[in-house]
């Protein structure tokens, strides 16, 4: 079985870590037919010493390695700041595998689609296609600090806005600002492509400042036209430790003549606990200014109850991974209902992300969820296409998947 070399560096590389060598041989035959070079290891210690792993296009990781386990390997990868996508291989139940994948994401790793055991060639090819898509991007695109830095300076970063719907009234309750890169050659680029570049190059903070400025300017235009709703912006953990952030936002509000209530800051739950003291300082000052504070992706991080107790959030957003399973999983419904009740008991508004079916929307409304956000109500669109004047969003967008099966 060939391994990567200087001559074959242009070919994508698949790394397999599994204590059963027959798995590597089986996967290897399928991967070679797809144009991949193979690096196979049965021992985690030898895997950790292999310099070829850092440049791989994909790592297939067995969870039960005999001498150790895949969770330990994920932790070691995170400590080395690995950027290699990881696909978990396991015959364990879906819930356990899902928990392990969430651990990987919480560590900041890039998790690719999983491979069940026993696996079929078609399943392997699907996972390889995920890695191949990343390798087949045009040469040089999104690859340099200079290109993204230029985009920030030249105004290539634009915002699209996704509606938030009051589930009790069906009326438009606000929107979330989502960054897009209008590349002069490639056209519109999604955040999934350039946000990792910003995080890896240290440009995530200046990028967020650009987003805050554009969102504030748009909020001022809408308010001048008669719409008073809040515009939400995602802010990374690196900015929560910046004690000057409240003063910068105060100056931003003054520049556009906005009250604090015009903006809401969304903070991903897994990020909210870093440097808790500084985060408490910054978030408390923002709340005193009138800004909304939302803990995003709730249920996917660690020490959630501690964050809700100690940090001054006024909104909690249920992660889309819960919303997507409301119709089929009674455990997910129980946890979602408990989150809604918890949020309300703490005086917080509860928002459900990723709502894509009418059945899920109806269940959330019956369960007391305050606000819904997702493709059912509308996709993120440019400001010119964001129709706020009617005040009411249709029950479903024409291109949204709609289920007629009621959630239990």
Task: Give the residue extent of every domain in the chain.
Answer: 13-135, 145-385
The fold of 13-135 is Rossmann fold (3.40.50)
User: Mean pLDDT of all residues in the chain?
Assistant: 83
Q: How far apart are the first and last CA of the chain?
A: 51
How far is residue 33's CA from residue 54's CA, in Å, rounded to a whole number?
23
Mean pLDDT, rounded, for 207-212: 94
Q: What local confidence, expressed as pLDDT, does residue 304 receive?
A: 55
Sort 43 into a burial class: Cβ within 10 Å, 0-12 / 13-18 / 19+.
middle
Range picked from 5-19, 143-157, 322-336 for highest mean pLDDT:
322-336
Q: Is the pLDDT of residue 271 over 80?
A: no
How far is residue 358's CA from residue 377's CA, in Å, rounded to a whole number?
10
Q: Comparing C-alpha atoms, which of 337, 358, 349 is closest to residue 313?
A: 349
Q: How confident is the model at residue 297 (pLDDT cuts 50, 70, 90)?
A: low
The 3-state DSSP class for residue 299 equals coil
Range picked from 65-69, 87-91, 98-102, 403-407 for highest mean pLDDT:
87-91
H or E segment and range at residue 35: none
CA atoms within 13 A on the CB side of 270: 13
- pLDDT more than 70, % of the chain: 84
Q: Is the pLDDT of residue 408 over 60?
A: no
Strand ranges for 247-348 from DSSP E:
263-268, 292-298, 315-318
DSSP state, 120? -
Whether the CB-CB separation of 243 and 281 falls below 8 Å is answered with: yes
145-385: CATH, from 1.20.120.1200, 1.20.950.20, 2.60.40.10, 3.20.20.450: 3.20.20.450
Q: What local confidence, expressed as pLDDT, does residue 134 receive?
A: 53
Classify the phi-psi angles of 368: left when phi > 0, otherwise alpha if psi is within -120 to 50, otherwise beta: left
Q: What local confidence, expressed as pLDDT, does residue 265 receive?
A: 95
Q: Is the pLDDT of residue 6 over 70?
A: no
């Amino acid at each position: 079985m060939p391994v990567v070399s200087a001559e074959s560096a242009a070919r994508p590389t698949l790394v397999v870590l599994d204590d059963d060598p027959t798995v590597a041989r089986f996967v290897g035959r399928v991967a070679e037919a797809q144009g991949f070079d193979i690096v196979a290891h049965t021992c985690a210690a030898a895997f950790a010493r292999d310099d070829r792993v850092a440049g791989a296009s994909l790592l297939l990781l067995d969870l039960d390695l005999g001498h150790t386990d895949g969770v330990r390997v994920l932790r070691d990868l995170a400590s080395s700041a690995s950027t290699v996508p990881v696909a978990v291989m396991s015959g364990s139940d879906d819930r356990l595998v899902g928990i392990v994948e969430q651990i990987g994401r919480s560590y900041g790793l890039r998790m690719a689609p999983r491979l069940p055991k026993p696996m079929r060639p078609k399943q392997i090819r699907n996972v390889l296609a995920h890695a191949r898509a990343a390798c087949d991007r045009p040469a040089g695109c999104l690859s340099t600090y200079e290109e993204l830095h230029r985009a920030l300076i030249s105004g290539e970063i634009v915002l699209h806005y996704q509606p938030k719907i009051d589930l009790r009234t069906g009326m438009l309750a606000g929107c979330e600002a989502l960054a897009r890169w209008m590349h002069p050659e490639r056209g519109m680029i999604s955040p999934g492509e350039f946000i990792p570049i910003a995080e890896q190059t240290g440009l995530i903070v200046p990028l967020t400042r650009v987003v805050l400025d554009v969102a504030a300017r748009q909020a001022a235009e809408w308010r001048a036209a008669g719409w008073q709703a809040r515009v939400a912006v995602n802010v990374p953990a690196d900015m929560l430790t910046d004690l000057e952030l409240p003063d910068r936002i105060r100056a931003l509000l003054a520049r556009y003549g906005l009250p604090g209530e015009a903006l809401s800051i969304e903070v991903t739950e897994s990020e909210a606990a870093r440097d808790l003291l500084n985060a408490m300082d910054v978030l408390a000052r923002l709340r005193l200014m009138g800004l909304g504070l939302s803990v995003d992706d709730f249920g996917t991080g660690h020490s959630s109850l501690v964050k809700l107790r100690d940090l001054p959030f006024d909104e909690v957003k249920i992660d889309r991974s819960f919303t997507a399973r409301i119709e089929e999983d009674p455990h997910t419904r129980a946890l979602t209902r408990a989150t809604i009740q918890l949020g309300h008991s703490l005086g917080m508004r509860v928002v459900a992300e990723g709502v894509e079916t009418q059945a899920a929307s109806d269940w959330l409304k019956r369960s007391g969820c305050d606000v819904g956000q997702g493709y059912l109500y509308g996709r993120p669109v440019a400001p010119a296409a964001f129709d706020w004047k009617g005040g009411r969003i249709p029950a479903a967008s024409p291109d949204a998947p709609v289920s007629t099966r009621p959630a239990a």
